[in-house]
Amino acid sequence: MATRILAPPKKVILNNLRLLSRPLNSVPPTFVAAIPGQFAAFEPAPSAATTTKPSSLIDLTDPERLFSSVPTSKLIRSTANLHAVAMEPVVDLGIRVMQSKLIMDTGLVREAVLGVVRRTFYDHFCGGEDTVEAAATVRQLNEAGLRGMLDYAVEDAEDNSSCDRNLEAFLHTVESARTLPHGYVSFVVVKITAICPIHLLRRVSDLLRWQKKNPSFNLPWNRYSFPILSDLTPLYHTLEEPQPLTAEEEADLFLAHERLRTVGSKCEKYNIPLCIDAEYTAVQPAIDFFTYSAAMEHNRNEPIIYGTLQAYLKDAKERLLLKSEAARKMGILMGVKLVRGAYMASEAKLAHSLGHESPIHNSIQETHDCYNDCASFMLEKVAGRSGAVVLATHNVESGQLAVMKAKDMGISNGNQRLEFAQLYGMADSFSFGLKNEGFQVSKYMPFGPVDQVMPYLLRRAEENRGLLSASTLDRQLMRNELWRRFRAAVL
Ligand SMILES: Cc1cc2nc3c(=O)[nH]c(=O)nc-3n(C[C@H](O)[C@H](O)[C@H](O)COP(=O)(O)OP(=O)(O)OC[C@H]3O[C@@H](n4cnc5c(N)ncnc54)[C@H](O)[C@@H]3O)c2cc1C
C-alpha cells in the first residue's frame, strides 16, 4: 500500500524555516519533542539572546603538527602537484591535451599522456586504478588518522547493460571495503546516474515535477510519496505534461530500484554506510526519489543510506525540513551529506536559457549562510539521535562554526553520526586540523582506470588553478613544513 506523507501547512514550514535559520554559533537549543502530526521544533534555551564564544577552533597555524603523519617524500610530491595545478599555463596545456581527440586517439601518444597524468594529477587526486590499490590508499589514510569514502568513478549509464556493469563494480567496492578493518572505510559512494539510465532519470524527474504542479496527477509507480520537491523548487524544466512511463520504462525503473536495493542490502548487512551523490537539477528529483525509498528500507536502526543536499540551491533549507519531518513521521533516521554544490555555471545557464532566474542563491554569502544553517540543523539532529550528517566542505569557516556547535551541543568525539569530509588531494591541512580536534574525518576518494576518471581530474584541475585557488592554504602550509624539515635536517 502507498505510504503517503502529507506536506505540512505552509505556515508551519515558514515557522520551522525561521528556526532552521538560527546561526551555527548560537547557543544550543533545547530539543522540544515533536507534537504528533506537526514538525519537530527546536526552541532556543532561555539564554539564547547571548552568543557563545568559540570554545575551540581548528588550529591551522602549526604545520609541523598538521603534517606530522605525512612522510617527507609524499609532502614533496603533494606540494609539487599543487603548485603545478596553480600555474595557469600548465593547467591550460594539461586540459587542452586531455581534451584533444587527436592526441587521445593516437595509441602511443595517448599512452604517454596517460602515463604522465597517472604519475602527477591522478596520483594526487585519485586513490588507485582498482579496489586493491584503493584499499592500500585507505590504509595509508588510516595511518594518518583519516578514513576513506570509496567512490568508484563511473560515467553516466545510457542503458541497462552499463547499469549492470556499474552495479557489479559498486558491489565489488563494498566487498573490498569489508576486507579492511571496520571503520577504515567510512562510506561507499554510489551515483544513481550509473545504475539507472540517464534518460529515465530525466523522465522520472519530469513526472515528479509535473505532479508537484498538479497534485492530482497520478504516478502509479510512486508508491512512497516521500516529499521530494518543495514550493521553492524550480519546475521550469517541465513545460508540458509528460507522457506516463511506458511499460518498458516502468520495468527499467524497477530494475534500477533493484540495483540500489542490492547494494543497500549488502551495505546494511556489513554495516557500511552508502552515500549517494547529488547531481544537477534536471535529474535530482529522481535521484532523491531513489535515495529516500532506499532510506525507508535500510535506515530503520542505523543511518545506512545518506542522500546529498546542495546548499547552493534556494530550496535547500525547505527541502531539508520537509524530508526531516517525513523521516521523523516514518520513524527512519535521516542521513545527509551536506555540500555547497558543483554545477553552478550549468544550472544558471539552463535557467536563463528558459527565461527563469537561477535556482542558485544570488550571492555566495547566501550560499554560505544556507550551508551553515543546514549544518546547524543537522548537528541538532545528531545531538537528538534522529539523524546523521557528513559535512563535506573545504570551507574553513563552515568547519570552525560546525566544530564550535558540535562541541557546544556535547556531540562527543568519535560520534559515528558526524563526519567531516574533504576531497582526496585537497584541503589536507583542514582535514588534519579537524582530526586533531578529535573529529572523524574522511577523504572522498575516487578510484578507477585513468581514462575513466579523466572528467573528474579536469574538474579538480579547474578548481585548483590560479594563485588564489582552493589549494592556496595547503600550498603555503606544506611549503612551510618542508622548509622546517629541511632546516631541521641540515642545521
Ligand atoms: C566530500 C565531498 C563530496 C562532494 N560531493 C558532491 C556531490 O555529491 N554533489 C555536488 O554537487 N558537489 C559535491 N561536492 C563538491 C561541492 O559541492 C563543492 O563544489 C566544493 O566542495 C566547494 O564548496 P566548499 O563547501 O568546499 O566551499 P568553498 O571552498 O567555500 O567554495 C565555495 C564555492 O561555492 C561556489 N558558489 C556556491 N554558491 C555560489 C553563489 N551563490 N555565488 C557564487 N559562488 C557560489 C563557488 O564556486 C565557490 O568557489 C563534494 C565536495 C566534497 C568535499
Residue 116 maps to a domain: yes
Q: Is 474 left (phi over 0), alpha (psi -120 to 50) or beta?
A: alpha
- Taking the CA of residue 398 as reference, the ligand 1 atom at the shortest distance is 25
Residue 464 maps to a domain: no
Determine whether the shortest distance from the Cβ of 364 to ligand 1 is under 6 A: yes
* Residues 210, 108 share a domain: no
Determine whether the shortest distance from the Cβ of 80 to ligand 1 is under 6 A: no
- Mean pLDDT score, 263-279: 97
* Residues 149, 65 share a domain: no
- Mean pLDDT score, 396-410: 95
Residue 8 maps to a domain: no
For 424, residues 6+ apart whose C-beta sits below 8 A from its C-beta are 125, 126, 127, 137, 148, 443, 444, 445, 446
- Taking the CA of residue 339 as reference, the ligand 1 atom at the shortest distance is 17
The CATH number covering residue 301 comes to 3.20.20.220
* Residues 364, 235 share a domain: yes
CA-nearest residue, atom 30 of ligand 1? 395
Residue 49 maps to a domain: no
* Residues 181, 93 share a domain: no
Of 242, 163, 233, 166, nearest in space to 203 by CA: 242
pLDDT for 491 beyond 80: no
pLDDT of residue 23: 52
pTM for the full predicted model: 0.90
Residue 294 maps to a domain: yes
pLDDT of residue 93: 82
pLDDT of residue 487: 94
Place of cell 595557469: 88
pLDDT of residue 4: 43
- Taking the CA of residue 280 as reference, the ligand 1 atom at the shortest distance is 11
Residue 135 maps to a domain: yes
* Residues 410, 323 share a domain: yes
Counted domains in the chain: 2
* Residues 376, 244 share a domain: yes
pLDDT for 119 beyond 60: yes
Contacts 24+ apart (CB under 8 A), 383-387: 383/28, 383/31, 383/409, 383/410, 383/411, 384/31, 385/417, 386/40, 386/324, 386/327, 386/328, 386/333, 386/334, 387/303, 387/324, 387/327, 387/333, 387/334, 387/335, 387/336, 387/417
Domain that includes residue 344, residue range: 127-447
* Residues 381, 313 share a domain: yes
199-220 residue pLDDT tens: 999 999 999 999 999 999 999 9
**Alpha carbon of 407 to ligand 1 centroid (Å):** 25
**Alpha carbon of 310 to ligand 1 centroid (Å):** 8
48-73 residue pLDDT tens: 333 344 445 799 999 999 999 999 99
* Residues 355, 335 share a domain: yes
* Residues 483, 346 share a domain: no
- Mean pLDDT score, 368-383: 98
* Residues 264, 347 share a domain: yes
- Taking the CA of residue 463 as reference, the ligand 1 atom at the shortest distance is 49
Residues 481 and 66: beta-carbon distance below 8 Å: yes
* Rounded percentage of the chain residues whose pLDDT exceeds 70: 88
424-476 residue pLDDT tens: 999 999 999 999 999 999 999 999 999 888 888 888 888 887 766 778 999 99
- Mean pLDDT score, 409-416: 88
- Taking the CA of residue 426 as reference, the ligand 1 atom at the shortest distance is 53
* Residues 85, 173 share a domain: no
**Alpha carbon of 340 to ligand 1 centroid (Å):** 4
Residue 162 maps to a domain: yes
Determine whether the shortest distance from the Cβ of 393 to ligand 1 is under 6 A: yes
Residue 460 maps to a domain: no
* Residues 138, 80 share a domain: no
Strands 41-43 vs 30-32: parallel, antiparallel or unpaired: antiparallel
How far CA 431 is from CA of 147, 421, 457, in Å, comes to: 10, 7, 20
**Alpha carbon of 338 to ligand 1 centroid (Å):** 10
